[in-house]
Structure formats: C-alpha cells, structure tokens
Amino acid sequence: MKRVFSGIPAAMAALLCLAFFGRTAPGADDKPAAAADKAAKSDGEWIQLFNGKNLDGWIPKTRGAKAGENPGNTFRVEDGAIVVRYDQYTKFDEKFGHLFYKESFSNYRLRVEYRFVGEQCPGGPGWAIRNSGVMIHGESPDEMGVDQDFPASIEVQLLGGAKTGERTTANLCTPGTNVVMNGKLITQHCTSSKSKTYRGDDWVTVEIEVRGSKLVRHILEGETVLEYNEPQLDERDGHAKELAKKKGGKLLAGGTISLQSESHPVEFRKVELMKLDAE
C-alpha cells in the first residue's frame, strides 16, 4: 500500500518518517553496542605494558636471586626504554635473567621494539653475543628455582647479525617445552625462522600472534617468519614435568611474558599487547 502524507511536503514527511521509524526504544540497542565496544577493546586496542618511565608492573628474576631482586641493577629504564645493562658486573657468571610482566595472557598480539648495543659482558657464553629473547606461555617467576637459568616457556629468540654472515631473528627456542610444527612434534631446542639478518643497532620490531595452544606466529615487517602450534611442557625435563602435574596437563594455553638478559646489552623501546578474542 502506498502511504500518502496529506498536506505535508514530501521532504518533511520523509524526515518525520525517518525520525519516527528510525528511532529505537530506549535501551533496545544498548547490549549490542556494548558488546561491539567490548569486542573493539579486546580485539583492536593496544595496551602499553611498559609505561616508558619505570618498571612498574614488571618483576625481575635472575639466576641466583629471588624473584623481585635485581642484582647489578641489570634491568632499568633509560631514555624511555627498558635496558639490560652489565656495567655493575665484574663478569657475567651465568646470571641469566628475565623481566616478567605481572599478568598472564592467552590470546593476544604482542609487539616489541628492540635493539642490541655495546659489547657483551665479560664471561658471557659465545652463543649469547647479540642474543636475547621474548618468552611467552611461561611459568611465573615465583615458580622458578633460585638457580634456574630459564623459565619453562616458549622463547621468541632475538638475534643481531654480525658484520658478515647471515643470522636470522624471531627464531624459536624451547626451554622445558616442545611445539608441533607441520603436524610433527619438534623436540630440538632451537628452530630458525626465515627472516633476514638485522645488523647494527637499528631498532627492530617483532610481533607475536598467540592463539592459546592453537597457534603461534612470529612476524617481522608484516611477514610470518615462523609458525607452530600445540606449545607444551616437555615431560623429559624434571621441572617441566612437575609443572605439568601441577597444571593438570602439559599443553600450554597461556602464561607469562618476559624479556631476557643473556649477557649482551639490549634495549626494549616498546612493549605493547592487543588482546584477541578466543577462536
């Protein structure tokens, strides 16, 4: 049926119609709008884990020390960056360290800007030159033993190139863990990515997409350089076996995030996280 608005100009009638029929009852769309807003916040908003000023929200754990102690002032903030320094060390003496964020996460995208600077601390192992890492799906610092080198976790290994030769970054290392890649359980400690070599002291941005235990991607310059799934505790390792027993299974669907100290000075200018909805 064609509706006729007697005595009302067509344009005005159209506006009145829009105002009346386009209006919804109060509160009718509140829930969908709130849901959409929540989704936008959980899947699209970057959260700054590092505030650019101090180490609030971060917990150091160094081999030989208790969680919360920071021997040698290894982890500190300088010029708006988290820096790892060894100027108060006489020698490294296997004091591997990790700076843990206070919360654990399961589904997220993590973005870290890092660079290597200066010279390695005397006494550091040869393999640790221009070597650091971002640990994900990790145990808490309080779960680590006093003399434990690394948390049971998945390491996104960060490497800086030498003057010559190729050296990939955003590799995978697995302290106390294993992963599945292309349907095969990977038990070797480290697996190289397909990244290019990054030399010098320029800033490098690495992104890590984490979907619980379903998928982990290492991303550089918008390109996925390594991908795997089913991160899990390696029950051949005594400590990891105890963790699996405590957690009720070996599959890792979430955990802590930490930044590594392995004897070479490194800086982290940005550490930000975007929460993702579980798939």
Q: Is residue 175 part of a domain?
A: yes
CA gap 84, 42 in Å, rounded: 31
Question: pLDDT value at position 195?
Answer: 98
- The residue ranking higher by pLDDT, 54 or 31, is 54
Closest CA to 229 of 186, 179, 178: 179
Does residue 31 surpass a pLDDT of 70? no
Q: Is residue 185 part of a domain?
A: yes
Q: Is residue 225 part of a domain?
A: yes
Number of other residues whose CB lies within 10 A of the CB of residue 209: 17
Question: pLDDT value at position 24?
Answer: 40
Q: Is residue 24 part of a domain?
A: no
Question: pLDDT value at position 44?
Answer: 83
CA gap 206, 257 in Å, rounded: 14
Question: pLDDT value at position 30?
Answer: 41
Closest CA to 225 of 130, 135, 137, 157: 157
Residue 209's domain spans which residues? 47-275
Does residue 165 surpass a pLDDT of 70? yes
CA gap 130, 167 in Å, rounded: 10
Question: pLDDT value at position 6?
Answer: 38
Say how many Å lie between the first and final Cα of the chain, rounded: 47
Tokens of 269: 């200018």
Query: 197-250, pLDDT tens digit by residue?
Result: 999 999 999 999 999 999 999 999 999 999 999 999 999 999 999 999 999 999
Element (H, E) at 32: helix 30-42
Question: pLDDT value at position 43?
Answer: 57
Question: pLDDT value at position 246?
Answer: 96
Report how far apart, in Å, the C-alpha atoms of 135 and of each of 41, 105, 258 are: 24, 12, 5
Q: Is residue 15 part of a domain?
A: no
Q: Is residue 9 part of a domain?
A: no
Question: pLDDT value at position 168?
Answer: 98
Q: Is residue 12 part of a domain?
A: no
CA gap 276, 222 in Å, rounded: 18
Across the range 9-36, mean pLDDT stands at 39
Region of poorest pLDDT, from 26-35, 109-118, 146-155, 244-253: 26-35
Number of other residues whose CB lies within 10 A of the CB of residue 125: 13
Q: How many domains does the chain have?
A: 1
Query: 115-147, pLDDT tens digit by residue?
Result: 999 999 999 999 999 999 999 999 999 999 999
Question: pLDDT value at position 279?
Answer: 77
Q: Is residue 10 part of a domain?
A: no
Question: pLDDT value at position 54?
Answer: 98
**Rounded percentage of the chain residues whose pLDDT exceeds 70:** 85
CATH number of domain containing 193: 2.60.120.560
Across the range 253-258, mean pLDDT stands at 99
pTM: 0.84
